[in-house]
Amino acid sequence: MNIVTLPKNQYMRILNTQEKLRDDLARLQKIVSYIAQDEVSPKYMKKLSKIERGLSLGRGIKFKTKSEIRKLFRSL
C-alpha cells in the first residue's frame, strides 16, 4: 500500500467534492424518476441506486482517464 500525504485544505476539498457528487447523484436519480417514470427501466434505476449506496458508504469509483468515465456513463 502506498501512503500519500495531502495538505488538510486539499483533503477537505476532496471530501466536499465527494459530498457534492453524492448529493448530485441523488438529485439526478429523483429528477429522472419523476420526469420519466414510465420510460426509465427499473434496471437503470437499480444501477443508480447501487452507485448512490456505494458513495454513501464511502466507496468510490476510481478513474484513470476521461474515457473510463465516459464508458461508465454510457454503460448506465
Give the pLDDT band of residue 1 (cuts 50, 70, 90): low
Residue 26 to residue 30: CA distance in whole angstroms = 6
- Domain-embedded: residue 1: no
Cell of 20: 457534492
pLDDT in tens, 11-67: 999 889 988 988 888 888 888 777 776 776 778 778 877 877 877 787 777 778 888
The count of domains in the chain is 1
Cα-flanking dihedrals φ and ψ of residue 43, to 5°? -65, -40
Contact 29, 48 (CB under 8 A): yes
What global pTM score does this model have? 0.45
Domain of residue 44: give its range.
Answer: 8-75
